[in-house]
Structure 1
Amino acid sequence: MTGRIVFAPDSFKGTASAAEAAGALAEGWRTVRPGDDLVLRPMADGGEGTLDAFAAAVPGAERIPVTVRGPDDRPVDAAWLRLPDGSALVELAGTSGLTLLDALRPLDAHTFGFGEAVASALDAGATRLLLAIGGSSSTDAGAGALAALGASFRDHEGREVVGGARGLAEVASVDVSSLRALPPGGASILCDVTNPLLGPSGAAAVFGPQKGASAAMVASMDVALARFAVLVPGGAALAQAPGAGAAGGTGFGLLAWGARMSGGAAAVAEAIGLAGAIEGADLVVTGEGRFDGQSASGKAPSEVVARADAAGVPVALVAGAIAAGTASFAASVSLTDLAGDVDAARGEPVRWLRAAGARLASSWT
Structure 2
Amino acid sequence: MKGHVVIAPDKFRGSLTSPQVAAHVAAGLLLAGRGAVPSVPLPVADGGDGTLDAVVACGFTRVEVEATGPTGEPLLASYAVRDTVAVIELAEASGLRRLPGDPAPLTATSYGTGELVLHAVRHGATRIVLGLGGSACTDGGAGMAQALGARLLDENGDDLPFGGAALRSLHRIDASALAELSGIEFVVASDVDNPLLGPHGAAAVYGPQKGATPGDVAVLEAGLARLAAVAAHTHGLAGAVEHDGTVRSMGVAAHPGAGAAGGVGFAALAFLHAEIRAGIEYLLELVDFDRHVEGAALVITGEGSLDEQSLRGKAPVGVASAAAKHGVPVVAVCGRRTIGDEELRAAGIEAAYALTEIEPDVERCMTEAGPLVERLARTIAETHLQGSPS
Whether TM-score is above 0.5 comes out as yes
Query: 95, 98, 103: which is aligned to 1:97?
Result: 95
String of CA shifts for 1:79-110, please: whole Å, max 9, x gaps: 333322x2333221222122222543333322
Aligned to 1:352: 372
Runs ≥4 residues deviating over 6 A: none
Q: Distance in 2 between matches of 1:63 and 1:20?
A: 17
- Conserved 8 A contact 2:44-2:55: no
For the pair 1:265 / 2:280, whether they are aligned, the reply is: yes
CA separation of 1:155 and 1:336: change in aligned 2, threshold 3 A: farther
The one-letter code of the counterpart of 1:206 is V
Partner of 1:275: 290
Tell me the residue number matched to 1:165: 164
User: What secondary structure does 1:289 align onto?
Assistant: strand
Q: 1:169 to 1:342 in 2, by over 3 A?
A: farther
Instruction: Check the 8 A contact 1:24/1:353 in 2, yes or no.
Output: yes
Out of 259, 266, 270, the position equivalent to 1:256 is: 270
Deviation at 1:337, TM superposition (A): 4.3
Which residue number in structure 1 is paired with residue 254 of structure 2?
A: 240
Distance 1:50 1:332 in 2: 23
Superposed counterparts of 1:114-263, under 5 Å: 114-232=113-231, 233=235, 234=237, 236-257=250-271, 258-263=273-278
- Distance apart, 1:2 and its partner CA: 7.1
Q: Give the AA of the match of 1:50.
A: T
TM-fit CA distance, 1:43: 0.6
| TM-align CA RMSD | 2.4
* AA aligned opposite 2:279: G
Distance 1:121 1:173, change over 3 A: same
| 5+ long unaligned stretches in structure 2 | 239-249
Counterpart-to-counterpart distance in 1, 2:143 and 2:128: 18
TM-score (norm 2): 0.84
Cα displacement (A) at 1:241: 0.6
Amino acid at match of 2:288: G
1:254/1:311 CA distance change after superposition, 3 Å: same
Aligned counterpart, 1:4: 4
Cα offset, 1:144, TM superposition: 0.9
Partner of 1:57: 58
Which residue number corresponds to residue 69 of structure 2?
A: 70
CA contact (8 A) 1:193 1:298 kept: no
Find the partner of 1:333 among 332, 341, 353.
353
AA aligned to 1:28 is G
Q: Which residue of structure 2 lines up, in the alignment, with residue 297 of structure 1?
A: 312
* Secondary structure of residue in 2 paired with 1:239: helix
* In 2, Cα distance between equivalents of 1:188 and 1:175: 24
Distance in 2 between the 1:218 and 1:31 partners? 51
- The change in CA–CA distance for 1:151 and 1:97 in structure 2 (over 3 A counts) is same
Cα separation, partners in 2 of 1:165 and 1:49, compared to 1, 3 Å: same
Aligned-residue offset at 1:341: 4.3
Q: Aligned partners of 2:201, 2:268: CA distance in 1, in Å?
A: 16
User: What SS does structure 2 have at the residue aligned with 1:122?
Assistant: helix
Mapped partners of 1:227, 1:313: distance in 2: 50
Q: More deviation in 236-245 or 336-345?
A: 336-345
Secondary structure in 2 matching 1:327 = helix
CA separation in 2, counterparts of 1:210 and 1:353? Answer: 29
1:131 Cα deviation (Å)?
Answer: 2.0
Contact 1:122/1:183 (<8 A) preserved: no
Match of 2:300 among 270, 285, 289: 285
Unaligned runs of 5+ residues in structure 1 are none
1:81 alignment partner, SS class: strand
Change (3 A) 1:83 1:6: closer
Name which one, 1 or 2, has greater alpha-carbon Rg. 2
CA distance change for structure 1 residues 90 and 342 in 2, over 3 Å: closer, same or farther?
Answer: same
Could you tell which deviates more after superposition, 41-50 or 240-249?
41-50
- What SS class does the counterpart of residue 198 from structure 2 fall into? coil
Q: Is the 8 A contact 2:43 2:55 kept in 1?
A: no
Question: In structure 1, how many angstroms separate the alpha carbons of the residues matched to 2:63 and 2:138?
Answer: 27
For residues 275-324 of structure 1, give each alpha carbon's deviation from its aligned partner in whole angstroms, at most 9, with x where no partner exists: 22222222211112233333233332222011111112221122233244
Q: Secondary structure at the match of 2:9?
A: coil
Q: Any conservation in 2 of the 1:198–1:204 contact (CA below 8 Å)?
A: yes
CA distance in 2, matches of 1:315, 1:46: 21
Aligned 8 A contact 1:43 1:50 in 2: yes
Q: What SS is found at the alignment partner of 1:80?
A: strand
Q: Name the CA shift for 1:324/1:145 in 2 (closer, same or farther; >3 Å).
A: farther
Letter in 2 for 1:331: A
Q: Quote the sequence identity (%).
A: 40
C-alpha distance in structure 1 between counterparts of 2:374 and 2:91, whole Å: 26
In structure 2, relative to structure 1, the CA distance for the partners of 1:137 and 1:358 (3 Å cut) is farther
Is contact 1:126-1:183 (8 Å) kept? Answer: no
TM-score by length of 1: 0.89
Deviates more, 1:101-110 or 1:90-99: 101-110
Q: Which amino acid aligns with 1:75?
A: P
Contact 1:193/1:297 (<8 A) preserved: no
